[in-house]
Chain A
Amino acid sequence: MSQTARPTSPHLGIYRWRVNMWQSVLHRLTGLFLCVGSLLVAWGLIAAASGADAWSTFAAFCASGIGVTLLIAWTWSLLFHLCNGIQHLFRDTGMGYDAAQRDHSRTPSYFATGWMVIAVSVALTALVWIGLFLRANGGAA
């Protein structure tokens, strides 16, 4: 059985990383992470139904350092998955694929909307959490 080093077909390695590849990877990763987050929703609802003790355990977890960190990560994951999902839904209709829209000089181009998805998800996450911190510290009127 002779082993000849045959050429293999090119895989992802030959492509330059563009924003749509990041969107694709992040959509799957945030989707997986949000599946874990859905269990937090279940925990919260079950705790609220079970009684005050169960609820205070849940609330204490959410208020802990790890809890807040996870909640910020879940907020961004949700907003990214949401914005990117909306872009998916528009592209499902065939929008954005014609040659003119893949032209960099045009706005919004195929890639510009990708950067918009990332920027909007980060901005909304910041907005939500800055608002929450301001309210907690009594800074917001």
Chain B
Amino acid sequence: MSAIGDDTLRTPLKNVRGLGSAQSGVRHWWLQRITAVALVPLSLWLLWLCAGLVHADYASVRAAIGQPVDAVLLVALVVSLFWHGALGLQVVIEDYIHTRWQEVVLQILVRFGAFLAAVACIFAIARIALG
């Protein structure tokens, strides 16, 4: 850091201006709460749906997932679920992984994994509902 300004006439204030707050301090907190509020009814509904499908055969499972209301709610659930999970894992990694390169690698893997899982789920739901 000190290399930036040592050989110039810039004041320290000039060097830090614009590098400080990204104006996103509460973004993580807020998104975690929004996805949590969404997951309150959606996860209870998923529990209800799964309990109803426990001994169902393959055709009735596909029929249930393919119904428009169920398909839309499942997509909403999957998006909130993997988003909320990624936000939570991000904090756990920040708290416990203190080696910088390991932290960066894990943060990238969590983001990629959550995104891929969500996209795969949405694709599967769409394939059942539209196929």
Q: List residues of A whose CB falls within 8 A of some B CB.
A: 28, 31-32, 34-35, 38-39, 41-42, 45-46, 48-50, 52, 55-56, 75, 78, 82, 85-86, 88-89, 92, 128, 131-132, 135-136
Given contacts A28-B92, A85-B40, A136-B55, is CB(A45)–CB(B33) below 8 Å?
A: no
Which residues of B (31-48) have their CB < 8 Å from a CB of A? 33, 36-37, 39-40, 43-44, 46-47
Pick the residue among B61, B82, B128 that contacts A38 (CB under 8 A): B82
Complex CA distance for A85 and B40, rounded to whole angstroms: 9
Complex CA distance for A89 and B123, rounded to whole angstroms: 32
B117 part of interface (Cβ distance < 8 Å): yes
**What A residues does B54 contact at CB under 8 A?**
132, 135-136
**What B residues does A50 contact at CB under 8 A?**
124
New contact pairs (16) apart from A32-B92, A45-B78, CB-CB < 8 Å: A31-B88, A35-B88, A39-B117, A42-B121, A45-B124, A46-B121, A49-B124, A49-B128, A49-B131, A78-B47, A85-B36, A86-B40, A92-B33, A131-B51, A132-B54, A136-B54
**6 contacts across the A-B interface (CB closer than 8 A):** A38-B117, A41-B78, A49-B127, A85-B40, A89-B37, A136-B54
Complex CA distance for A131 and B54, rounded to whole angstroms: 12
What is the predominant secondary structure among interface residues of chain A facing chain B?
Answer: helix
Complex CA distance for A35 and B109, rounded to whole angstroms: 14
Q: List residues of B whose CB falls within 8 A of some A CB.
A: 33, 36-37, 39-40, 43-44, 46-47, 51, 54-55, 58, 61-62, 65, 74, 78, 81-82, 85, 88-89, 92, 117, 120-121, 123-125, 127-128, 131
Which residue from chain A places its CB closest to the CB of B37 in the assembled complex? A89
Given contacts A28-B92, A55-B58, is CB(A128)–CB(B47) below 8 Å?
A: yes
Q: What's the nearest-Cβ distance from chain B to residue A52, in Å?
A: 5
Complex CA distance for A92 and B111, rounded to whole angstroms: 26
- Inter-chain contact B61/A48, CB cutoff 8 Å: yes
Q: What's the nearest-Cβ distance from chain A to residue B91, in Å?
A: 9
Q: What's the nearest-Cβ distance from chain B to residue A56, in Å?
A: 7
Complex CA distance for A48 and B33, rounded to whole angstroms: 31
- Inter-chain contact A46/B124, CB cutoff 8 Å: yes
**What B residues does A52 contact at CB under 8 A?**
58
Which residue from chain A places its CB closest to the CB of B95 in the assembled complex? A28
Pick the residue among A28, A42, A82 that contacts B43 (CB under 8 A): A82
